[in-house]
Amino acid sequence: MRRILALILTIGLALGLSLSGCARVQQNTADGSEQVTLGMSYIPDVQFAPFYVAESEGLFTAAGVNAQLRHHGSNEGLFTALLSGEEDYVLAGGDEVVQARSEGMDIVAIGQYYRSYPVTIIVPESSDIHTAADLAGRSIGVPGRFGESWFGLLAALAQAGLTQDDVSIVEIGYTQQAALTTGRVEAIIGFSNNDQVQFATAGIPTRTVPLSAAGEVPLQSIVMATTAARLSTHQDEAKRVVSGMTEGIRRTVAAPASAITAAKTYIPTLSDQGGEAAASATLNATIPLWTYADGTVSAEMDEAAWVTMCSFMFGQGIITSTVEASDAMSNAATTP
């Protein structure tokens, strides 16, 4: 998920609380089961293909849940609709779940969506930057000091033994291509399955540099999340939602072309000239993020990794109050 709106999480909390009295009425379907709404970022994208596949192939129905997909409004906070009751589940960064909990939001992760962290360092192909340590004394572009790009930069610096004072951080908004190609910055922090794909599509020679030379990042990426209150009263439903999502990932990984077809219902631009090719490139870059190294798929989360993330985020000042990993995540929905 490329533009998680972490910058306005606090606004999301305020709106969520103020709207709690006007939550939607839960609707039941013909078979008597409740309909649930699954929230995603406001831009329909092939990165959500597992959900499009799950709906088009009836995977949620087969799992025993009636799911409706909802893309957020462009000015809507990440967790606003979840907290107000307009959504029942939402995709968000694991790190953003921890940040939300530190701000008092009743959010809990219930299933892993991205197995790997998608944030990476992107440099011109001719650059002499080959590791995060090589960023010392260099200029680095980030959209802003928020969200997964910012968290990823902090992780890269920490892993390399650098501080923010050791580099020049430039807030470039979402002008990554222009900033890098004009030399405004020497590197950018972007997403392997989005920014790097766009550079390649535009014919701009770039390469990625991992956040950590050891390959370990103290952050967890996209997860399915809900409120702890809902999980406590709808655990079976949560299992069905996670099951449908997981099977959607498996089907997408196994048959990418079919996933592109399913996505066309949600992304009309795929029918434009070059649209399908661009989507295929993004999908191919996203598949490794969903799977383990051996290609298998699981929604189970690593609690030890969440402990590490909570500690890292507190140590970096991303959160100002401690968060227990056991409060921010639960594998209750991933177990039989």
Residues 13, 93, single domain; the answer is yes
Three-class SS state of 273: coil
Residue 268: CB atoms within 10 Å: 10
Residues 28, 174, single domain; the answer is no
Residues 37, 62, single domain; the answer is yes
Break the chain down into helix, strand, coil percent, rounded to 5.
45, 15, 40
Residue 281 lies in a domain: yes
Three-class SS state of 27: coil
How far is 320 from 336, CA to CA, in rounded Å?
36
Residue 335 lies in a domain: no
Q: Which of 332, 330, 77, 97 is nearest to 219 (CA)?
A: 97
Q: Say what the pTM is.
A: 0.88
Joined together, the tokens standing for residue 235 give 């655990």
Render each residue's pLDDT in the chain as its tens digit; 336 residues: 434 333 333 333 333 333 333 344 444 444 456 799 999 988 899 999 999 999 999 999 999 999 999 998 878 999 999 999 999 999 999 999 999 999 999 999 999 999 999 999 999 999 999 999 999 999 999 999 999 999 999 999 999 999 999 999 999 999 999 999 999 999 999 999 999 999 999 999 999 999 998 888 999 999 999 999 999 999 999 999 999 999 999 999 999 999 999 999 999 889 898 899 999 999 999 999 999 999 999 999 999 999 999 999 999 999 999 999 999 999 999 987
Residues 99, 239, single domain; the answer is yes
In this prediction, residue 33 carries a pLDDT of 61
How far is 244 from 251, CA to CA, in rounded Å?
11
Point out the domain boundary residue: 159, 190, 209: 209
In this prediction, residue 24 carries a pLDDT of 45
- Residue with structure tokens 């959209």? 143
First to last CA, the chain: 28
Joined together, the tokens standing for residue 58 give 């009836």
Residues 96, 128, single domain; the answer is no
Residue 91 lies in a domain: yes
What CATH number does the domain containing 90 carry? 3.40.190.10
Residue 1 lies in a domain: no
Residue 131 lies in a domain: yes
Q: What is the DSSP letter of 166?
A: G
Which 3-state string (H, E, C) describes 80-91?
HHHHHCCCCEEE
Residue 134 lies in a domain: yes
Helix and strand tally (H, E) in the chain? 14, 10
List, in order, residues 6 or more apart from 18 with CB less than 8 Å away.
Answer: none
- Whats the size of the chain, residue-wise? 336
Write phi, then psi, for 72 (nearest 5 degrees).
-65, 160
Residues 111, 224, single domain; the answer is yes
In this prediction, residue 135 carries a pLDDT of 98
Which domain covers residue 97, as residue numbers? 6-115+220-328
Residues 103, 11, single domain; the answer is yes
How far is 72 from 77, CA to CA, in rounded Å?
8
Residue 163 lies in a domain: yes
CA distances from 332 to 221, 232, 306 (A): 19, 10, 15
CA distances from 15 to 12, 227, 234, 266 (A): 5, 15, 24, 28
In this prediction, residue 22 carries a pLDDT of 37
Residues 26, 158, single domain; the answer is no
Q: How many domains does the chain have?
A: 2
Residues 55, 189, single domain; the answer is no
Residue 68: CB atoms within 10 Å: 14
